[in-house]
Chains A and B, each alone.
Chain A
């Protein structure tokens, strides 16, 4: 079965029949399914990441079940489409905790939702893995149940800043975000980071992503002497307009920043393929091609397994890989501890060290729930996408 982005069903939405009855009896516990709650913004704007994650989630659950499940227990993924709306995410979280009695929750997939659900999950002591970047979401004291499987904003920021000042050798930068919550915050944090590092932020702006013409902002950035433009936005329309404007101005300033710079949508929106050159976005070592065009061995194998089953052309490999890892981390906790009690799962995760996932090797301790290795956050050549993976940006070994 090929899972494609369009027409994808909300697989696993079927309710666990007995779960509403409440407390699972110990005798039943051995045979009842392992229920994984999956909070995904599958529709609505900015649904692309969750759609990618979802392909990995469904594939991983199917693979586990085909191999006999987790110690004989079926893995059941219960999906709720939150549409990126924090209110829907809060409702779905509480439903998963109190009504569906899931054993662990994966998601939500964007920070706005996660900010609202984190406290609720902590109150319900619900084991939770999420990929949201906002720093404050991870705090082992306040939220001992929440674990991050992706880089934090700080790690993203570091990667972009190090590349901008270290490799691109830009001393004067322009930092540009869109006018969404994420864009405003990320641009502010990034600008503050640059200033702390001694770089000069010569221009900082938040642009309405529907603004039809980017010339004024680009002109001001150039007049201010910017040597690199740092972008924090998920809006492909805005990014493409800026790329077109850059080319029209005949300016060869590098664009460095958010993973969306590599989105396949941009290829269609820019006027010439060349306009996508000198664009470097955040990527991951695990999902990057080396000089020979090869991924690391584990992911070369994954590509073979996914071939013909999952369409990788219109998504990113790391989304899919991350979805697979999340399900496997939950399943592994149940398998290793032989339990689906929340504190057993959390205790297991707290001891995870260099857990070999497709997306990264995660390590968590009771005091550190940021599990993604910072050195694996790299910069990619945004226009080099193939099978959802990218070539490393120049300057990386």
Chain B
């Protein structure tokens, strides 16, 4: 198999920035923040403290909006809840008065609970619905604060918790809040850099692929809602102390908008961007005091300009690396020899995937009409047929996106639950998509690492605090991802943003992502579409090599040559039914196939 012989130009790609280089902007900000007290100006202390407190909230919200892509517009509701919880408990309106720190902790707990309550609709509803429900929630929280006068003081409000010395001075409190902000930066960066963060982004940009990789969206989102809610609740408690007094009218929609827009002008999927966005939006009204009347208008205009002109936000502006041109004339050079290490101890296939009498109809159209199909370990099974014959639909039934009306789907004799795509990855079933589904803003390496999400054992808490097991797992995953990329021929592009890759490279990236699972079965949906002849050859060799490691491959393809070259068995579909099945040689001479499909 002459796949590694072509003389490819040596790839010279910018190296990934070192950990220190990535930390540098944060350390710079922290150093600047630590120098601020030497100014001695209490006004700056107030504004800087405000920025810190807002960041405590925005850092968590960033995971929801910037990473998970859930448009929580009304997050001021949780800030209000936290502020009232801390103030009411510290004042002793309901229970005996608690110390301020305990009250702050309770605010975090209440925030976490309501973070999930507000978030629940996001688990089932579409984006716009979620935006609306958070908005509605923001209005009823203030209504309840008004009505529940005995506890909240109604419209008169309630004093915020007072901090004990030495936190009762402007600068003492500032340093405390700065510490909280720095801690939140670290915690949320830990989540963002873990498999949880990668899964969030995958849910946002490639939900279908995330499901195929076994990402359990509800569980993942609930964990993030808990964290973001807790941070927002704590921010509320800190806010109440800073304001010294809270009334319902302090929790304006403008404030909610500020949080939301800070994330977006910062840029999705970034920590530094939203941090800068928060600082910017806190300072902006102070600098532009004479424009106060137009402030909301300016926020809105800013939002519109960002959405239309720089959807990537500040983070994209600062991403100098991705503006350097990638070398021209790159060629994908798979290294099947890496597969032995990669797939060496893959999941033992316990038996074949079997479809029996599967029927799937969309309305009156029978997309699959009584299909039998066996997919055996170590075999390459081709699935061909004209457009609309049910090839991809069959693949979608196997990977759980469609629930057939009749028939059975089993793996080694045990039924595979229909309509539950997230349960396929744990069974060792991986797939690629006709149009590559990827996270454009993440690196190729990060995209590929999503493929092994189901194998992560460390918990959300371990990831939050970077505990040893998490760090070890992370190292192992990265090593495996680099191996998968080497096998797929993309080793040199690991640290490049995925949306900069060529179409053909994306196809191989999807294969690498699927290989991360060390799958027992791999389903490829038209992997050769859009590839050059030479690349198709290399793809064929790669697929054979994968099957040689014991993985069963289902290949949906139009390229008849590729099918006949590498398949062990071929099924031909027509109108959702099997037209023919057999070895490539049998199919090649099958009369109906030849006349109907191979065109003579």
Contact = CB atoms under 8 A, between A and B. Distances in A.
Direct contact of A and B (CB under 8 A): yes
Interface of A: 10, 13, 42-43, 80-88, 90-92, 94-95, 97-99, 111-112, 115-116, 118-120, 124, 134, 136, 179-186, 188, 206
19 contacts: A80-B289, A83-B293, A86-B250, A87-B255, A91-B46, A91-B286, A94-B43, A98-B42, A99-B43, A111-B155, A112-B247, A180-B155, A181-B156, A181-B247, A185-B154, A185-B155, A188-B149, A188-B154, A206-B147
Interface stretch (B238-246, B303-311, B375-383, B565-573): B238-246
Contact of B249 (A90, A99, A181): A181
A99 B41 contact: yes
A13 B244 contact: no
A99 B146 CA distance: 34
Contacts of A183: 155
B50 interface: yes
Given A115-B245, A119-B244, A119-B245, A94 B46 contact: yes
Contact of B243 (A42, A87, A92, A185): A87
B292 A81 contact: yes
A111 B155 CA distance: 9
Given A134-B156, A183-B155, A184-B155, A112 B250 contact: yes
A9 to B, nearest CB: 9
A184 B157 contact: no
B248 interface: yes
B252 interface: yes
B68 to A, nearest CB: 28
Size category of the binding interface on chain B: 35 or more
B501 interface: no
B293 A112 contact: no
B407 interface: no
Contacts of A95: 43, 286
B156 A86 contact: no
B373 to A, nearest CB: 61
B155 A182 contact: yes
B46 A85 contact: no
Nearest to B168: A123
Given A81-B289, A115-B157, A179 B246 contact: no
Given A95-B43, A182-B155, A184-B155, A116 B293 contact: no
Most buried by A among B149, B157, B248: B157
Nearest to B159: A119
B235 to A, nearest CB: 13
A42 to B, nearest CB: 7
Most buried by B among A13, A92, A184: A184
Given A85-B254, A86-B249, A120-B244, A179 B285 contact: no
B50 A112 contact: no
A245 B143 CA distance: 26
B154 A181 contact: yes
Given A81-B293, A184-B146, A184-B149, A94 B42 contact: yes
B290 interface: yes
A35 to B, nearest CB: 15
Contact of B155 (A10, A91, A94, A181): A181
B contacts with A: majority SS: helix
A75 B367 CA distance: 83
Contacts of B249: 84-86, 112, 180-181
B157 A112 contact: yes
Contacts of A98: 41-44, 46
A206 B147 CA distance: 9
Contacts of A111: 155-156, 247
B47 interface: yes
A1 B231 CA distance: 52
Contacts of A119: 159, 244-245
Contact of B149 (A10, A91, A185): A185
Given A181-B156, A188-B149, A188-B154, A116 B243 contact: yes
A63 B289 CA distance: 26
Contacts of B293: 42-43, 81, 83
Nearest to A124: B42
Closest 8 CB pairs of A and B: A181-B155, A98-B43, A185-B155, A81-B292, A98-B42, A43-B293, A119-B244, A86-B250
A183 B286 CA distance: 31
Contacts of B285: 88, 91
A86 B251 CA distance: 9
B292 A116 contact: no
B249 to A, nearest CB: 4
B292 A83 contact: yes
Given A181-B247, A185-B149, A13 B289 contact: yes
A205 to B, nearest CB: 12
A12 to B, nearest CB: 11
Interface string B318-358: 00000000000000000000000000000000000000000
B42 A118 contact: no
Interface string B136-173: 00000001001101000011110100000000000000
A91 B247 contact: no
A132 B250 CA distance: 17
Given A95-B43, A184-B146, A184-B149, A116 B155 contact: no
A60 B290 CA distance: 22
A116 B143 CA distance: 19
Most buried by B among A43, A98, A180: A98
A200 to B, nearest CB: 22
A65 to B, nearest CB: 21
A179 B146 contact: yes
Most buried by B among A87, A136, A188: A87
Interface in B272-304: 285-286, 289-290, 292-293, 295
A234 B289 CA distance: 27
A136 B156 contact: yes
B466 to A, nearest CB: 35
Contacts of B149: 184-185, 188
Given A94-B42, A115-B245, A184-B147, A87 B250 contact: yes
A120 B46 CA distance: 11
A102 to B, nearest CB: 12
A99 B44 CA distance: 8
Contacts of A188: 149, 154
A182 B250 CA distance: 13
A91 B50 contact: yes
Given A95-B43, A180-B249, 10 more contacts: A81-B289, A82-B292, A83-B295, A91-B286, A97-B43, A112-B250, A116-B247, A181-B155, A184-B146, A185-B154
A43 B157 CA distance: 23
Nearest to A186: B155
Contacts of B243: 86-87, 90, 116
A264 B295 CA distance: 28
Nearest to A85: B252
B498 to A, nearest CB: 40
Contacts of A134: 156
A368 B157 CA distance: 23
A43 B292 contact: yes
B245 A118 contact: yes
B288 to A, nearest CB: 11
A246 to B, nearest CB: 26
Contacts of A10: 290, 292
